[in-house]
Amino acid sequence: MAKLKTTFFCQSCGNQYAKWQGQCTACKEWNTIVEEVIQTPEKSDWKSPTSAVKKAAVPLKIKDIDASNEIRLNTFDGEFNRVLGGGIVPGSLTLLGGEPGIGKSTLLLQISLKLPYKTLYVSGEESQKQIKMRAERINPSTNNCYILTETKTQNIFKQIEALEPDIVIIDSIQTLHSDYIESSSGSISQIKECTAELIKFAKETATPVVLIGHITKDGNIAGPKILEHMVDTVLQFEGDRNHVFRILRAHKNRFGSTNELGIYEMQGSGLREVSNPSEILISKKDEELSGNAIAATLEGMRPLMIEVQALVSTAVYGTPQRSATGFNAKRLNMLLAVLEKRAGFRLGAKDVFLNITGGINVDDPAIDLAVVASILSSNEDVALQKDVCFAAEVGLSGEIRPVQRVEQRILEAEKLGFSTIYVSKYNKIALKTTSINIQLISKIEDLVGVLV
């Protein structure tokens, strides 16, 4: 038996110390350093203590490496494939985080029940009967999903060696523990050790592994920050438990873009893919209301039509309020200053509230023109036409700046039945035949003259 040794870890950032101290020097948090007992026996391979010594890896020229057989695994979930960049890469490690009750386990169980590959779903939080109850509600369509309730990594690897699955799903990484570490499940050292063992298994066997991770009250993945550096892809499942819509984002992706967005609707039978996000981002109303404008934005390769709502009212107190939900508050202040300086609107003594409907955050500068239009509409109490949308950036001198991939935005607006779209005069548009009326404007005064 190897000698036990004691180390100290910060529970917030995972930094290691030789002795206890009150403040972590890395993340500056107080009272987050705890003592953990670590055992360091001779480690065996992930397979078994008696497994043969593997042949040492040799360096190869990059042109001699054969990558022709690396085909992504189709998850048969269009939104999940889009966020990953086309499917799951063999040998990759994917981490899915989200708030409790948001639907992480439901999403991965639903995907595992769709897959035609042999799938091992390992749960450390629920029993096999509990998972079976949820699977019956989702209505499984395959017999290739195997359920294992186990938390010790050595036992999990024995079952993996016997079953030889094509994909492994772990729910969750915080419940696993290894015999090589003496500390309890969920501790910094246990999370690092279990993840390292899963990475070794995934890379050596080219088997993709998907992990579910808990998050802290700050919204970050629980455990050391190094966990997010170790895995290949970090996904975030967002949404309000009081609403039915869920958003899947990629915060890190070594094999694809991090700008893609997946949208689901939570139903009694599981999660439904939302192929047309504009149906949930644009509210249905019978009468025209002031302060509403439609913007054509992009999330990765996907064009979206979103609704921007603004409310301008006289400030009751001395200092006017500036509030933005789903939009950068500093950029809102900048656009208000442009309206006051270039267009002559006196908004300095008025409260301005801005909201992006659907609960999403947008950082695309192409919605600037829609924000300005909604503010002008609310300020003048004049409703905009329902079939008008906007796609342009507003500069500090009041000029309307061009945006990228404007043709894709125009085609999406045309497909959804909009009759007019306002874009920058300086955009080069190669579209020849379109049923939508494209209005070209060069400065913010042109928009004011049309709307007011």
Collapsing DSSP to helix, strand or coil, 32 comes out as coil
The candidate with the shortest Cα–Cα distance to 423, out of 383, 393, 386, is 393
Per the structure, the complete domain to which residue 28 belongs is given by 1-41
Please name which of 49, 11, 6 lies closest in space to residue 27, comparing C-alpha atoms.
Answer: 11
- Whether 431 and 382 map to the same domain: the answer is yes
**Whether 345 and 212 share a structural domain:** no
Which residue ranges make up the annotated binding site? 98-105
Does some domain include residue 77?
Answer: yes
CATH number for the domain that contains residue 429: 3.30.230.10
CATH number of the domain to which 200 belongs: 3.40.50.300
Instruction: Please report whether residue 121 resides in a domain.
Output: yes
Residue pair 302/261 in contact by the 8 Å Cβ criterion: yes
pLDDT of 112-134, one tens digit each? 998 988 999 999 989 999 999 88
Same domain, 300 and 159: no
Same domain, 98 and 234: yes
Q: Give yes or no: residues 105 and 145 share one domain.
A: yes
What are 317-364's pLDDT values in tens digits? Answer: 778 899 999 999 999 999 999 999 888 888 888 999 999 987 788 889
Task: Please indicate, yes or no, whether residues 326 and 289 belong to a single structural domain of this protein.
Answer: yes
Q: Which of 243, 273, 303 is the last residue of a domain?
A: 273
Residue where one domain finishes, among candidates 217, 242, 273: 273
Whether 105 is in a domain gets the answer yes
372-394 average pLDDT score: 92
**309-314: average pLDDT:** 93
Whether 276 has a pLDDT exceeding 90, the answer reads: no
Please identify, among 256, 273, 290, the residue that sits at the C-terminal boundary of a domain. Answer: 273
pLDDT band at 50 (very low <50, low <70, confident <90, very high): very low
Mean pLDDT calculated for residue range 1-6: 62
Are residues 267 and 317 both part of a single domain? Answer: no
Q: Tokens for 388, please give them.
A: 């008008």
Residue 46 located in a structural domain: no
Q: pLDDT for 404-420, tens place per residue?
A: 989 999 988 988 889 99
**Which residue did the predictor score with more confidence, 116 or 275?**
116
Is residue 7 within 8 Å of residue 36, measured between CB atoms?
A: yes
Rounded Cα distance between 403 and 342, Å, is: 21
The pLDDT of 75-95, averaged and rounded, is 92
443 assigned to some structural domain: yes
Number of structural domains found in the chain: 3
Are 125 and 183 contained in the same domain? yes
Partners of residue 266 on adjacent β-strands: 271
Query: Taking the alpha carbons of 370, 372, 376, 378 in that order, is the dihedral positive or negative?
Result: positive
Q: Within a domain: residue 47?
A: no
Q: How confident is the model at residue 45 (pLDDT cuts 50, 70, 90)?
A: low
H helices of 121-208, in order, are 128-138, 153-163, 188-205
Which phi and psi (to 5°) does residue 201 adopt? -65, -45
Q: Are residues 19 and 85 in the same domain?
A: no
Residue 326 corresponds to which amino acid? Answer: G
Q: Are residues 334 and 398 in the same domain?
A: yes
- Residue list for the binding site for ATP: 98-105
Q: Note whether 284 and 269 are same-domain residues.
A: no
Q: Is 415 part of a structural domain of the chain?
A: yes
Predicted model pTM: 0.76
* Same structural domain, 245 and 303: no
Distance CA 418, CA 20 (A): 63
* pLDDT above 60: residue 257: yes
**Looking at the domain assignment, is residue 341 inside a domain?**
yes
**Widest CA span in the chain:** 83
Distance (Å, whole) CA 134 – CA 207:
26
What pLDDT, on the 0 to 100 scale, is given for residue 451?
75
Of 160-164, 187-191, 396-400, the range with the lowest mean pLDDT is: 187-191
Cis peptide before 68, with omega less than 30 degrees from 0? no
